[in-house]
Amino acid sequence: MTIQLRLGTRGSLLAKTQTEWVATQLRKAHPDLEIITQIIQTTGDLKSGVPFAEVGTKGMFVKELETALLQNEIDVAVHSLKDMPAELPQGLELACIPVREDPRDALISRKGETIDALPHGTKVGTSSARRTAILRDYRSDFDVEELRGNLDTRLRKLDEGQYDAILLACAGLNRLGLGERISQALPVESFVPAVAQGALALETRVGDKDILALLLPIHHEETALQIRAERAFLGAVEGGCSVPVGAFASLLSNNKIQLRSLIADESGNLYRDTLSGERENAEEIGRELAFRSLAARK
């Protein structure tokens, strides 16, 4: 018997590519599954030319998808997990987290230089407050400028010479088959990624057991464990400040998890920290590291 599943996604090329990847994995697990993809425009898409600070970044790429879920217009919302606020709307849950792509930030420079080889005064474009803070700390001589638009638009602006280099996520470039554009994958030790960068989230209505059963085969528990630590950090930090943050969890060989974090203050000062512990305590580690980080920046 054919089963129908409605997936909701943003309309960008990357979002549609990610959703098609999810659909392909689900069809492999369920050959009789019929998948319908619905494109839903979000606030972030409709205001793509407006600086993030003016739009208000919290939930700007997910709210309309979540509304469609709550109104039963779709069964699953496919998100880039880094776009999701720490708190979900009542009635919704993260039902499935597939295997993570490369979580690192990517430098794309016009001449292929690495970040240390770029000349003084290089104009670097990014839309991320986190990347801006790290860039200005790492290379204070850079001219860091706002860069909006979808991934294709950002690459075009670089190629047209509007910027000398730009920062994007490795994951998006890899998913679009553009990994060769990456001049350097930036180390997580210096460029702590955004929370959940490189991961996808499949969001559903709470208690929708039939949908959950369909998604279970593509859930990746190791990725989900990393995400639990990172999002616990984010949830605790969002209660204490509204400045750029990053967090990245690594699974160690001795059943331990290590969480690396970054918080910036209003003056651009960066506060980095690392905490390790047992994997089953992933969320507690995230919260403890957040409290420690918030205390350090006071």
Six-digit token string for 206: 């709470």
Torsions phi, psi for 237 (to 5 deg):
-70, -40
Active site residue 208: no
Tokens read off for 251: 């699974």
Tokens of 155: 């690459």
Q: How many of the other CB atoms lie within 10 Å of CB of 164?
A: 19
- The string over 80-104, giving b where at least 16 C-beta atoms fall within 10 Å of a residue's C-beta and e elsewhere, is bbbbbbbebeeebebbbbbebbbbb
Is 186 in a helix, a strand, or coil?
Answer: coil
Reading the block at residue 140, the tokens are 């204070």
Tell me how far apart the alpha carbons of residues 283 and 227 are, in angstroms, rounded to a whole number.
9
Catalytic residue among 45, 75, 83, 164: 83
**Catalytic positions, written as ranges:** 83
